[in-house]
Amino acid sequence: MSHIPNLILATLAGFLARLYMLRRDYRQYPSYPQGWAVHLFVGFIGAAIGAVVVPAVLDKEWAAVSFLILAASQFREVRSVERETLRAMEATELVKRGTAYIEGIARVFEARNYLSIWVALVVAAAAELGPGSLWGKAAVCALVGAAATWLLSGLMKGQKVGDIAGVELAEIQFDQALLRVEETVMMNVGLETARAVYRERGLAAKIIPSGPNAKATLANLGQMQAIAHDVSAMIGVYMDVGEQEFIPMVRRNPSSGCLYLVMVPSEADQDAFLTAVRRVPVLEGAVRKPLTSVAGKMMD
């Protein structure tokens, strides 16, 4: 019975941490009540597991500790569920996310449940070591929980495209039916009406890698698809189902390593367009660091 107040405080802290990390943004997932209910319930279970570990260790209930660790390992199934859900939703997207982006989102949702376990565990330890009074424990747990949530959330934040590359506007040109950005051919636009739309409303961006590591990261096909999808999600795209000529296109210049994005946004706002490109996340699975290898250092 003596551990019950500590268990409640630690579980509540882990649950609130999961609620804080469950944010809806332009990616629109999860943006429905059922999705929130599922993730909050799984987060509550994770928080309860993290809260129970500390008193179980203090009471030397090693069998309980082993069971809790086994239960926590089942959270890897969350990634599979999210992956399958996002794959099923992929067919409804005008601009596809791509398998690499889906896998990255699934990893994030799995990791956030682990973070709720860590927050609950840290708060449970603070509650055991804190003051004897209930209000004193609550104050200590609130401070420790907020600090742990802020620290872990900060560690979870990855880089953006703007952190590893420069982004600037580029000019759209046509060589008969070939749409070019600088010397890179992007696509064949056969209809004169479509070419007129690109001349009037189209925007293009040049993404310049800041170094060899950035160049290798941006060369990933999943990262290129993520750029097209995220920019379309943030500022909108001027197209309807079946209009292949207006699908945002990302191409790479092999000689320079620069990427070129061309699209027709719903509103031709250049500042918003460049900001959207800079804020596209760098996918965890796309990160490459050739300079950490001996051969890469020789090539630099």
Shared-domain flag, residues 14 and 152: yes
Shared-domain flag, residues 127 and 263: no
> Sheet containing 165-170: which strands, arranged edge to edge?
165-170, 203-209, 259-263, 249-252
The confidence score (pLDDT) of residue 30 equals 56
Shared-domain flag, residues 215 and 269: yes
Shared-domain flag, residues 15 and 148: yes
**What DSSP letter does each residue of 158-179 carry, written as one string?**
--BHHHHEEEEEE-EEEETTEE
The confidence score (pLDDT) of residue 38 equals 78
Range list of H helices, the chain: 4-21, 33-58, 62-73, 76-90, 99-129, 134-156, 161-164, 192-201, 212-218, 221-235, 270-278, 294-299
Shared-domain flag, residues 117 and 210: no
State the residue range of the domain holding 211.
Answer: 161-299
Shared-domain flag, residues 243 and 268: yes
Q: Give first-to-last CA distance, the chain, whole Å.
A: 63
Q: Which of 134, 156, 178 is the last residue of a domain?
A: 156
> Which residues are registered as beta bridge partners of 5?
none
> Whose CA is closest to 88, among 37, 35, 42, 125?
35
Q: Which of 156, 174, 203 is the last residue of a domain?
A: 156
Shared-domain flag, residues 199 and 292: yes
**Would you write out the chain's pLDDT as a tens digit for each of its 300 residues?**
567 887 888 889 888 888 888 765 555 455 566 667 777 888 888 888 888 888 877 777 777 667 777 776 777 777 788 888 888 888 888 888 888 888 888 888 888 888 888 898 888 888 888 776 778 778 888 888 888 888 888 777 888 999 999 999 988 888 888 888 888 888 888 888 888 888 888 899 999 999 888 898 899 999 999 999 999 988 888 877 767 888 899 999 988 889 999 999 988 888 999 999 999 999 888 887 777 776 666 665
**Total structural domains within the chain:** 2
Shared-domain flag, residues 146 and 190: no
The confidence score (pLDDT) of residue 247 equals 87
The confidence score (pLDDT) of residue 99 equals 86
Shared-domain flag, residues 231 and 140: no
Shared-domain flag, residues 125 and 247: no
Show Cβ contacts of residue 4 under 8 Å, excluding neighbours closer than 6 positions. none
Shared-domain flag, residues 258 and 177: yes
Q: Which of 101, 129, 156 is the last residue of a domain?
A: 156
Shared-domain flag, residues 110 and 9: yes
